[in-house]
Homo-oligomer: A and B are copies of this chain.
Amino acid sequence: MPLGQRAGDKSESRYCGVETEFNDDMPHVLAFNLSHGSFDFVLAPLMDPAYRPSLMQKDNGVSGVLPFAGSDLVLSPSQWSGHVVGKVSSWIDLDSEDDILRCDSETTLKQEIAWASHLSLQACLLPAPKGKSCANYARCVNQLLQGLSSTQLWLRLPLVKSDSETMDVNTDTSDDSWEIWNSFRLLCEHHSQLSVALDVLSSLPSVNSLGRWFGESVRAAIFSTDCFLTNARGYPCLSKRHQNLVHGLFNHSMQIVLSGEPVHSLPKINSHIASNDNDNNVDGVQKHPLRPYLDYVGYLYQRMDPLLEQERLEIGYRDYLQSPLQPLMDNLEAQTYETFEKDTMKYIQVLMVVGAGRGPLVRASLQAAEETGCKLKVYAVEKNPNAVVTLHSLVKLEGWENIVSIISCDMRYWDAPEKADILVSELLGSFGDNELSPECLDGAQRLLKDDGISIPSSYTSFIQPVTASKLYNDVKSHKDIAHFETAYVVKLHNIARLAPPQPVFTFDHPNRSTDKSNNRYTKLQFGITSDTGSAMIHGFAGYFDATLYKEVHLGIEPSTSTPNMFSWFPIFFPLRTPITLSPGASLEVHFWRCCCPTKVWYEWCVASPASSPIHNSNGRSYWVGL
Contact = CB atoms under 8 A, between A and B. Distances in A.
A170 interface: yes
Contact of A613 (B187, B517, B612, B614): B187
Interface string A569-607: 000000001001000000000101000000000010101
Contacts of A529: none
Interface of A: 99, 102-103, 133, 135-136, 138-139, 142-143, 146-147, 169-170, 182-184, 186-189, 515, 517, 521, 523, 577, 580, 590, 592, 603, 605, 607, 610-614, 617-618, 620
A614 B620 CA distance: 30
A620 B146 CA distance: 9
A614 B142 contact: yes
Contacts of A611: 135, 182-184, 186-187
Contacts of A142: 614, 617
Contacts of A613: 186-189
A142 B517 CA distance: 21
A233 B581 CA distance: 58
A31 to B, nearest CB: 40
4 closest pairs, A vs B, by CB? A186-B611, A189-B613, A183-B611, A135-B590
A523 B95 CA distance: 10
A147 B618 contact: yes
Q: How many identical chains are in the complex?
A: 2
Contacts of A517: 103
A607 B189 CA distance: 13
Contact of A580 (B182, B592, B610, B620): B610
Q: Chain A's interface: helix, strand, loop or mixed, by majority?
A: mixed
A190 B432 CA distance: 33
Nearest to A517: B103
B136 A590 contact: yes
6 contacts: A103-B517, A133-B607, A138-B605, A183-B611, A187-B614, A188-B614
Contacts of A147: 618
A169 B169 CA distance: 11
A607 B187 contact: yes
A605 B143 contact: no
Contacts of A618: 143, 146-147
Contacts of A103: 517
A46 to B, nearest CB: 22
A192 to B, nearest CB: 14
Which among A99, A169, A607, A620 has the highest number of chain B CB atoms within 10 Å? A607
Contact of A183 (B135, B170, B607): B607
Contacts of A143: 617-618
A517 B103 CA distance: 11
Contacts of A133: 523, 607
A87 B554 CA distance: 50
Given A133-B607, A135-B607, A186-B610, 15 more contacts: A133-B523, A135-B614, A136-B521, A136-B590, A136-B592, A139-B590, A139-B614, A146-B617, A146-B620, A169-B170, A183-B611, A186-B612, A187-B611, A188-B614, A189-B614
A187 B182 CA distance: 24
A135 to B, nearest CB: 4
Contact of A139 (B169, B186, B515, B605): B605
Given A169-B170, A592-B139, A603-B139, A612 B146 contact: no
Contact of A577 (B136, B187, B577): B577
A618 B139 CA distance: 9
Which among A521, A610, A620 has the highest number of chain B CB atoms within 10 Å? A521
A590 B135 CA distance: 7
Contacts of A184: 611
A173 to B, nearest CB: 14
Contacts of A189: 613-614
